[in-house]
Amino acid sequence: MNKKYLFGIVILIIVILLGFIIWKGKTNTHQTSNKTPKNQRAPLPKEVTITLTKNGFSPTQVTINVGSAVRWKNESGSQQTVNSDNYPTNQLHRELNFGVFNNNSSVVYIFSQPGMYGYHNQLNPKQKGKVIVIK
């Protein structure tokens, strides 16, 4: 008698669990939410590309919004740099001191503060550029 009673309880628990799983699945399919799902990434910032060729930066000046990114892409055929003004100390905006990067590679920076950010190629300081960041 105990085995039949225990078997009945186990069957009852299984039926309740299956009913709960089915009910939970149906309620989730009908729910709507304004929240971003946990597995969905926030949108990436807008990105502007500045190309570094053997002749310099192109374009030499860009204007972006706070939170946007700038990608400096090296297509010069050799190693180059992106460094903050003022040459040769590079101390004005230290966050722009990326150092040497290879041909066909790039460096990216997201600007979080408004301002004017001057930079140059340390290996050829006549090659200059400016990023203007607005709110």
CATH code assigned at 93: 2.60.40.420
Residue 89 lies in a domain: yes
Percent of the chain with pLDDT strictly greater than 70? 81
**Domain membership of residue 122 as a residue range:** 47-134
DSSP bridge partners of 71: 49, 108
pLDDT exceeds 90 at position 55: yes
pLDDT exceeds 60 at position 26: no
Q: What is the mean pLDDT of residues 78-100?
A: 94
Cis preceding linkage at 86, omega within 30: yes
Residue 88 lies in a domain: yes
Residue 106 lies in a domain: yes
DSSP state for residue 114 in the 8-state scheme: -
The number of domains in the chain is 1
Residue 39 lies in a domain: no
Note whether 53 and 75 are within 8 A (CB): yes
Residue 1 lies in a domain: no
Residue 32 lies in a domain: no
pLDDT of the residue at 34: 46
Residue 115 lies in a domain: yes
